[in-house]
Amino acid sequence: MAGIGDDIKDVLQELGKEVNVYRHTTGEFLTVESIDTEGGVKDTTPFESTHMTSFMATYETSIEVGDRLDFTATSESHLVGVMVSDLFENAVYAKEGVLYKCNTEVDAYRRSGEARDPQSYELTPNWEPVFSGELGLFSGRLSDHDIADERYGRFYQSSRKLFISNDLDLQIEDRCVIDDERYSVETMETHRLPGLKICGLAEDNRE
């Protein structure tokens, strides 16, 4: 969009924060863009203010929900959970959304049949790797306080929840390994945030 959209584009190119755009479906970095972010630490909402950030991109951005943005200046990585178009006179002049700050690496495995142990002759499950080293937001380590407000997933703060890109092939009953600890995916919400799967995790004591 000419006019205001191009003005915003010029400002972002000059003053915005540079990010590398990573797409999980291709496993590649697409491009480098400049965006603006807005956030601030608040004592009343430490989880939201330190792990969720609103952002603005140009009207012709290549960024999509589910992408990962790696900030070149800080080396921080964020997942795009929500993204909408800003309209003026039925034309898009900018894109806005919410970023979720990654704080962990995740390895995922899926049960695939059984194999017989050569020594005990007992059947044990096979765990095939699904993906390795993907980044996500693990809220189980952040707070012991209950938060009732459902906006942007605040109410997930008090339990073990994993926010991960919706583009990744993670399913219920898969095994997630986070910081050498094993978790089973017990619940999964894929429609609350367009770009993210919100997974409820439990300790995994399966063989």
- For residue 43, what pLDDT is reported? 53
Q: Which of 66-92 are b and which e, b meaning 16 or more Cβ less than 10 Å from the residue's Cβ?
A: bbbbbbeeeeebbbbbbbeebeeeeee
Per-residue pLDDT of 2-56, as tens digits, reads 688 888 888 998 899 999 999 999 999 999 999 999 866 565 566 677 789 999 9
CA distance 134 to 163: 11
Give the pLDDT band of residue 104 (cuts 50, 70, 90): very high
Give the confidence band of 82 by pLDDT, cuts at 50, 70, 90: very high
Mean pLDDT of 127-149: 75
pLDDT at 143 over 50: no
What is the CATH number assigned to the segment(s) 4-101? 2.40.10
Residue 107 phi/psi, 5° resolution?
A: -110, 135
pLDDT score, position 42: 60
pTM: 0.84
Q: How wide is the angle at C-alpha 39 spanned by C-alphas 33 and 40, nearest 5°?
A: 145
In CATH terms, are 4-101 and 104-203 the same topology?
yes
Name the residue among 74, 85, 65 with its Cα closest to residue 21.
Answer: 65
d(CA 134, CA 155): 24
* pLDDT for the residue numbered 146: 46
Q: What is the pLDDT of residue 111?
A: 92
Domain boundaries, the chain: 4-101, 104-203
pLDDT digits (tens, 9 = 90+) for 150-207: 544 444 444 789 999 999 999 999 999 999 999 999 999 999 999 999 999 999 998 8
What pLDDT does 170 receive?
Answer: 97
Residue 57 contacts by C-beta under 8 Å, 6 or more apart in sequence?
12, 33, 35, 63, 94, 95, 96, 97
Domain spanning 104-203: CATH 3.40.50.10860: no
pLDDT at position 142, please?
46
